[in-house]
Structure 1
Amino acid sequence: MRESRTVQRSLFDLYSPHKFGAFLGELSRVLDDHPEILPLLEEDFRAEGTQATGRKGLSVESTFRCMLLKQITGVSYEMLAFHLADSSSYRAFARLERDCRPGKSALSGNIRRLRPKTLQSVFQQLGNSAFEQGVMKTDCLRIDSTVVSSNIASPSDSKLLDDGIRVLSRLMAKSRDCTGIKLRLTDYRKRSKSLAARIFYGKKADKETLYPELTSLANRVLKQSDKAVEQVRRQGGEPTHLQSWIDQVVHYQALLERVVDQTKRRVLKGEKVPASQKIVSLFEPHTDIIIKGPREIEYGHKINLATDRNGLITALMIEKGNPTDVERFMPVVGAHQSLYGGVPETTIADGGYASVDNIEKGKALGIKRVGFHKKRGISLSAMGLKEKTLKKLRDFRAGVEGNISELKRAFGASKALWKGEDGFMSFVWASVISYNLTRLVRLNSG
């Protein structure tokens, strides 16, 4: 990793006359107006062992710009590497030196170093700048929520049990390569895969007999992995090179134990297991079960956000669990207030946020009009609105649906593709930053 900034020479500032080339040129100028975000990004690249890319490596600025390209275009790392090697517009925007042609692994490795906390700070810095310049219109805010899905398959207890058996068995099979210690074990992967498939496609009567067999198999693998960890510790001590393998085994053991427990409770005992106690993925265990009204179940994390008159996202919160909208109204208002030093004159939110308590707390902060799309038995006088004003605000609120749709459709926020909880949050913030920057370019272009 080189220095934070790449000094671009006009010789290489070659943008295509195509409208997307013009957009990239304008976006580059917007970023040049915000050099203050580079010191924020530098912190994530100061860790020892950062790899350079190509002959000279990617700068911090180039890494951030490559991240924006990926989110805006929605391409894979492989295709991004191709475009950066092939396109003068992409290379000019990314501020790549002539000999720098990053591959997909280098792009992925460097972009994934950007932490969610850092990207959130960049979002806040860009928002504050837009607010100070008068581009962000915060007199009236619209608030809504949506769900960003995790990158997982539709969960089932049989699939989760098979995943746990498969992963632990694979780790133990690789123990000789990872630790130098060969383990004597029975491989249950083929049997587990067969049982899981029979459960998935079988009738209810068949599942009742097959599930106990699969959970028994999982327990055998758990006991086997306990013995494997004991053997590795006994024969190899606990040098550093063994700890990574041990940590992985212990991690997946804990997850498989939770899956076995929820399977016994839900399937074998007929107990209703609360969503907060369920695990739906061994690879993305942070994933929440989200149920919004009568709609189908979603797996990921709920986000609450506010947008202004220009469609810019002023505040966003990535939630844990499945909190109701009504209890997240004030936290969103509070997040906006902490960022911009004040509250809007008017807020309009979906009916799910409606409550007299939220109106009273909002007005106590200084909001003059606290409106909701559906009244939910709340009078207009309590909201501080007239019927005609509420109708206009309802029309205004509808715009947030379009903002959310664009965020998900054009910037990838329908499903977070980066692994792990930090990866999930970084992906969401990357999408939001890309969305807001694109909005700023449109506003500058008129």
Structure 2
Amino acid sequence: MREVIARQLRLGHADIGRLTFNPRSRDAHHTYLGLCAALLSKVEETVADLPLSLLDSRSGNDLQRWLGYGWHQVDLVRRRVLDGETIPHGDKIFSLFEDYSEWLSKGKAGVPVELGLNVCVMESADGFILHHQVMQHCPDSEIAVTMVKQAKALFPSLSACSFDKGFHSPANQRELAELLDRVVLPKKGRWSQADTARETDPAFVQARRQHSAVESGINALEVHGLDYCPDRGLERFKRYVALAVVGRNLQKVGAILQARALEALQKDERRRQRQAA
């Protein structure tokens, strides 16, 4: 029975919400939670006898953190299985080791969900990544203005920017219009007459068509290692993303230099051919 219960618990909170708990399963969970609580209480008693110098150290902090995780998991299973409660998203823990991880619903075929953090990328028309931001507990609509302000501080000549619909809000439309000469920010929902005139403007439509080019930059980041972060901790996650962005820009510089070198070789070859003729 213990092996079956362990399998059920390893399904995680998202899958456990779709299970049907019969009386036998509830009894097994009740027994298992009692065992967990007894073990956690025993650990707490042991920790209470440890010297203060150890408790104030990193190891002591880790002990307290893991104890907190243990009681939290017991509480979640009790509320979900025994009390029949639907667990709020903010109470769930998706990774004990990388506790900053979020449940990301991509909405893509074959990739229903991922664990990690979203990264917003701002790319120039030449394919260079000008700015990026790791998004923690932050929807797209809350970072549009901040991203533009930070990018303009680095690149004062920035005068136009195209966004996805997820970045739209009335406030963003107004504030971005004050920062940029041209804002390409599609509106979600129904259009007003002014929205229709703006989004059917040829310049707006052309910019939207070019916007899809940023997907190639995102794909290049993923292909060269940014689809998975092997480092531990939030700060290392951010550093890994930043290094990947630098690597992508260096790769872009290399591609430009290679193209120039190839063009120079082709010019030399054409010149030799003309001289030989």
Secondary structure of the residue that 2:118 maps to in structure 1? strand
- Within 5 Å, which residues of 2 pair with 1:215-234? 215-233=33-51
2:16 maps to what in 1? Answer: none
- Aligned 8 A contact 2:186 2:199 in 1: no
Q: Unaligned regions of 5+ residues in structure 2, if any?
A: 12-18, 260-277
In the TM superposition, what whole-angstrom CA distance separates every residue of 1:380-425 from its partner, at most 9, and x where no partner exists? 8558565322232122101111111111122x11121111222222
Distance 2:144 2:187 in 1: 15
> How far off its partner does 1:248 sit?
2.3
Q: Does 1:195 align with 2:5?
A: yes
Q: How is 1:270-281 mapped onto 2 (pairs within 5 angstroms)?
A: 270-281=84-95
- The percent identity for this pair of structures is 21
The SS at the match of 2:53 is coil
1:400 aligns with 2:214: yes
- Which ranges of structure 1 fall in alignment gaps of 5 or more residues? 1-190
Structure 2 counterpart of 1:300, from 97, 101, 116? 116
- Residue 242 of structure 2 is matched in structure 1 by 429
SS of 2:172's equivalent in the other structure is helix
Task: Name the CA shift for 1:341/1:368 in 2 (closer, same or farther; >3 Å).
Answer: closer
Count of aligned pairs: 248
**Structure with greater contact order relative to length (CA < 8 Å, sep ≥ 6):** 1
**Equivalent residue number for residue 70 of structure 1:** none
Q: Spell out the pairing of 1:317-328 with structure 2 (5 A cutoff).
A: 317-321=133-137, 323-328=138-143
Contact persistence 2:94–2:101 (CA under 8 A): yes
Contact 1:351–1:374 (CA under 8 A) maintained in structure 2: yes
Mapped partners of 1:360, 1:225: distance in 2: 56
1:416 aligned onto 2:229: yes
The separation in 1 between residues aligned to 2:3 and 2:53, in whole angstroms, is 33
Alpha carbons 1:306, 1:315 under 8 Å: kept: yes
The Cα offsets for residues 99-157 of structure 1, whole Å up to 9 and x where unpaired, read as xxxxxxxxxxxxxxxxxxxxxxxxxxxxxxxxxxxxxxxxxxxxxxxxxxxxxxxxxxx
Query: Which residue of 2 is the match for residue 391 of structure 1?
Result: 205
Distance 1:224 1:250 in 2: 13
Q: Could you tell me which amino acid in structure 2 is paired with residue 197 of structure 1?
A: R
State how 1:244-283 maps to structure 2 within 5 Å.
244-283=58-97
Q: Which one of 104, 129, 138 corresponds to residue 313 of structure 1? A: 129
Q: Deviations along 1:23-43, whole A, 9 cap, x unmatched?
A: xxxxxxxxxxxxxxxxxxxxx
RMSD after superposition: 2.9
Q: Provide Cα deviations, 1:220-253, integer angstroms capped at 9, x if missing partner.
A: 12111111112332xxx6269x934323211211
For the 8 Å contact 1:192–1:217, the answer to whether it is kept is no
TM-score w.r.t. the length of structure 2 is 0.77
Determine which of 144, 149, 167 is the counterpart of 1:353. 167
SS in 2 for 1:279: coil
- Using the size of structure 1 for normalisation, the TM-score is 0.50
Give the equivalent residue in structure 2 for 1:211: 29
SS at match of 1:290: strand
How much has 1:196 moved relative to structure 2? 0.8
Q: Look up the equivalent residue of 1:445 and give its one-letter code.
A: Q
In structure 1, the residue matched to 2:263 is: none
Conserved? CA contact 1:355–1:378, under 8 Å: no
